[in-house]
């Protein structure tokens, strides 16, 4: 099984009060297609920095990130933006939906940004809304949705352009235990059924049995639990 995402010897430092602080220290990770991994660690351990680098939002100080065999390190801003739009799906702690767009419109906007033709976009929207149990909410605005529904819309939005990799940052933090488990099951199912790679940063130990591997970020390195 091929590795969809590879972080090779990643180091990231920044200046803090005139001194250099190392957040990630020669970190390595390989995630295969169909694999769902969790990353844990205390606040300030570098989890957000790690996810930002893995998701092409932040350039590492040194090292290489490869997505489907292609290096994303050192690419131009527009190329990185296109890659994030088409190959990486982000799911954040808060759904961050656009308040004046209905559920269906949230997804159509992503399709338009990715230059998807309308017929294909409508088909993809129907598929996602059915899979995520949101058909009856397609014309609802975000303020009319429950917390669990908003997070499911956020997942649908992340999946709209069929990305190779999913990045989830504390996706259960704003949900109760039952809804949180449902959301993580959806992420795990998408990885397994569609051959995606999924990485989740989390503090929620209840969802760890749904993951294939669990890592702890410690002293800038990932240690498998």
Per-residue pLDDT of the chain (225 residues; tens, 9 = 90+): 678 899 999 999 988 777 888 999 999 999 999 999 999 998 889 999 999 999 999 999 999 999 988 898 888 889 888 889 889 999 988 888 999 999 999 999 999 998 899 999 999 999 899 888 899 999 999 999 988 889 889 989 998 988 999 999 998 887 788 878 888 998 999 899 989 999 999 999 999 999 999 999 999 999 998
The answer to whether residues 30 and 5 touch, using CB atoms and an 8 Å cutoff, is yes
CA angle 81, 87, 89 (to 5 degrees): 90
pTM: 0.87
Q: Which SS3 state, helix, strand or coil, does residue 154 take?
A: helix
Name the burial class of residue 66, with classes exposed (0-12), middle (13-18) and buried (19+) by CB atoms within 10 angstroms of its CB: middle
Per-residue confidence (pLDDT) for residue 8, from 0 to 100: 96
As a whole number of angstroms, the distance between CA 219 and CA 225 comes to 15
Per-residue confidence (pLDDT) for residue 34, from 0 to 100: 94
- Considering only the top CATH level, what class is 3-224? alpha beta
Place of tokens 């767009």: 101
The answer to whether residues 131 and 61 touch, using CB atoms and an 8 Å cutoff, is no
Q: What is the DSSP string of 47-78?
A: HHHHHHHHTTSS--SEEEEEETTEE-TT--HH
């Amino acid at each position: 099984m091929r590795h969809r995402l590879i972080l090779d010897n990643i180091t990231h430092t920044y200046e803090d009060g005139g001194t250099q602080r190392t957040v990630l220290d020669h970190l390595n990770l390989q995630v295969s297609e169909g694999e769902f991994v969790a990353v844990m660690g205390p606040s300030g351990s570098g989890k957000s920095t790690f996810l930002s680098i893995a998701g092409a939002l932040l350039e590492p100080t040194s090292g290489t990130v490869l997505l489907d065999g292609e290096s994303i390190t050192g690419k131009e801003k527009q190329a990185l933006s296109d890659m994030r739009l088409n190959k990486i799906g982000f799911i954040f702690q808060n759904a961050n939906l656009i308040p004046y767009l209905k559920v269906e419109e949230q997804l159509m906007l992503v399709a338009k940004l990715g230059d998807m033709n309308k017929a294909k976009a409508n088909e993809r929207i129907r598929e996602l809304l059915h899979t995520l149990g949101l058909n009856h909410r397609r014309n609802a605005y975000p303020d009319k949705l429950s917390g669990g529904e908003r997070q499911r819309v956020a997942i649908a939005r992340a999946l709209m352009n069929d990305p190779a990799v999913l990045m989830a940052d504390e996706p259960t933090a704003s949900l109760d235990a039952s809804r949180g488990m449902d959301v993580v099951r959806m992420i795990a199912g998408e990885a397994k059924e569609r051959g995606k790679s999924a990485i989740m940063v989390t503090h929620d130990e209840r969802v760890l049995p749904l993951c294939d591997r669990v890592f702890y970020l410690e002293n800038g390195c990932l240690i498998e639990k």
